[in-house]
Amino acid sequence: MTISVKKNLVSEAKYTLKCPNAMTAEYITIHNTANDASAANEISYMIGNTSSTSFHFAVDDKEVIQGLPLNRNAWHTGDGTNGTGNRKSIGVEICYSKSGGAKYYAAEKLAIKFVAQLLKERGWGIDRVRKHQDWNGKYCPHRILSEGRWNEVKATIEAELEGLGGKATSKPSPSVSKSSGSTYAVKKGDTLSAIAKEHGVSVATLQSLNSIKNPNLIKVGQVLKLTGSSTSSTKPSSKKTSYALPSGIIKVTSPMTKGTKVRQVQNALAALYFYPDKGAKDNGIDGVYGPKTANAVKRFQSMYGFTQDGVYGPKTKAKLEDLLK
C-alpha cells in the first residue's frame, strides 16, 4: 500500500532561508525530533519560524507531512553550507522520540515503510540511507542510537524495500571494487552490515576476521579484511547461514525456558538485528527465554504487524524464516 504524503510546503518567499539551493538528492537522512509534537505541528513550526533549520518530511504514528520540495536542499545535518548531508540528502524526522513509547514506535514503523517507499521510487538501495550522526557526529536519531537499534532499523527498511520489490543496493559504488582485493577501508557512513552485503560476506565473518566485538564501532579509515588468510580452496559459500528454528510456542515462564531451541530463536532475531540484549555479552544470546528475549520478539512482531505478545509461535517463526531464507 502506498503511503500518501500530505503537503504543507514552505512559501517560496522563505526559500532563501529554508532551502536556498537546488538539489538532486543522493541520500536519505533519518532523524529523531527529540520532541513530542505531531508531524503536522513539526512541519508547520518549521516552515513558519525564522530559523534556517529545515527538513523535508516529518513522520508520526498517523501520517507523513512534507514541508520542503524534494528538489531543494534542507539545513538538517550540521555539516555546513556545502556539506553532502545538507546539500544532497532528503531529511526525514521521526516524531515523538523525546518520550518514546508506543506512539514513537508507531511513528518509527511508518517512517521505515516510508523510507523504503522513497528508496523504491528512486531505484535506490539501503546504501543510500544515513543517520544524521553520519554527517556531523550529532547524536541523532537519539532514540534509535540510545536503544542500539540503528542496524535493526536499517535491516527493517531493507526488508520492507525487498517486500516492495526494490533493489538491495543502488549500483556498484564507484569507490568499491569487488575485485580490488581482500581489504576495504571504512568510509564515512558505512555500516558493517552494508560492507558485508557489498562484498558478499557475512557480518559474523567480518567480525571474526577483524576481531570486531561491537559491529557498531567501526572507524572511518579502518581497513577491514574481507577474506581469510587461509589458502584452502574452499569456495566462498553463496548460501546464507541457515537458521534452524524450533516449532511450537515459547514464552516467558517460571522457571524460564532454556536450551537450544531458545538459542535458535535468539540467533535468528540477532541475525536480523533484533538483539535480545544489545550491549550484553554475546548480545544476550544465552539460551534463556526471559523478558529481554520476549521484548526482542515483541519489537519484531511490532515491525511486521503481528500481535505484540512476546510469544514465539508459528507466525513469528514463519516470518523469521521468510526473512532469513
State the nearest-atom distance from the C-beta of 141 to Zn ion, in Å. Answer: 6
Q: Which is nearer to Zn ion, 77 or 267 (CB)?
A: 77
Given the rule CB under 5 A, which of 28-36, 183-191, 213-221, 300-308 is the region that contacts Zn ion? 28-36
State the nearest-atom distance from the C-beta of 89 to Zn ion, in Å. Answer: 11
Half-sphere exposure of 104 (CA within 13 A, CB side): 18
Given the rule CB under 5 A, which of 136-144, 164-172, 188-196, 199-207 is the region that contacts Zn ion? 136-144
State the nearest-atom distance from the C-beta of 58 to Zn ion, in Å. Answer: 12
One residue of 14, 19, 23, 31 binding Zn ion per CB under 5 A: 31
Q: Which is nearer to Zn ion, 109 or 132 (CB)?
A: 132
Which x/- pattern over 256-295 shows residues binding Zn ion (rule: CB under 5 A)?
----------------------------------------
Q: Which is nearer to Zn ion, 18 or 292 (CB)?
A: 18
Strand residue runs (E) in the chain = 5-7, 27-32, 57-59, 64-66, 89-94, 129-131, 183-185, 223-225
Q: Does 132 bind Zn ion (CB under 5 A)?
A: yes
Could you tell me which residues are beta bridge partners of residue 59?
64, 94
Which x/- pattern over 84-123 shows residues binding Zn ion (rule: CB under 5 A)?
----------------------------------------
Q: Which is nearer to Zn ion, 76 or 317 (CB)?
A: 76
State the nearest-atom distance from the C-beta of 142 to Zn ion, in Å. Answer: 8
Cell of 161: 524495500
What's 281's DSSP letter? G
State the nearest-atom distance from the C-beta of 135 to Zn ion, in Å. Answer: 9
State the nearest-atom distance from the C-beta of 18 to Zn ion, in Å. Answer: 16
> Cα(170)–Cα(146) distance, rounded to whole angstroms?
29
| φ and ψ of 87, to 5 deg | -100, -15
What is each CA distance from 186 to 17, 75, 157, 167, 192, in whole angstroms?
35, 26, 22, 23, 9
State the nearest-atom distance from the C-beta of 30 to Zn ion, in Å. Answer: 8
CA 141 to chain centre: 11
* Pairing status of strand 129-131 against strand 27-32: parallel
Cell of 183: 581489504
Q: CA quadruple 32, 35, 39, 42: dihedral positive or negative?
A: negative
State the nearest-atom distance from the C-beta of 13 to Zn ion, in Å. Answer: 26
Q: Which is nearer to Zn ion, 56 or 132 (CB)?
A: 132
| CB contact at 8 A, 188 and 221 | no
Q: Which is nearer to Zn ion, 51 or 208 (CB)?
A: 51
> Cα(26)–Cα(83) distance, rounded to whole angstroms?
13
State the nearest-atom distance from the C-beta of 93 to Zn ion, in Å. Answer: 7
Q: Does 18 bind Zn ion (CB under 5 A)?
A: no
Q: Which is nearer to Zn ion, 90 or 159 (CB)?
A: 90
Size of the site for Zn ion (CB under 5 A): 3
| Size of the chain, expressed as the number of residues it contains | 325
What is each CA distance from 246 to 152, 228, 288, 293, 320, in whole angstroms?
23, 32, 14, 15, 11
Query: What Rg value do the Cα atoms of the chain yield, rounded?
Result: 21
Which x/- pattern over 137-156 shows residues binding Zn ion (rule: CB under 5 A)?
---x----------------
Name the residues that contact Zn ion, by CB under 5 A: 31, 132, 140
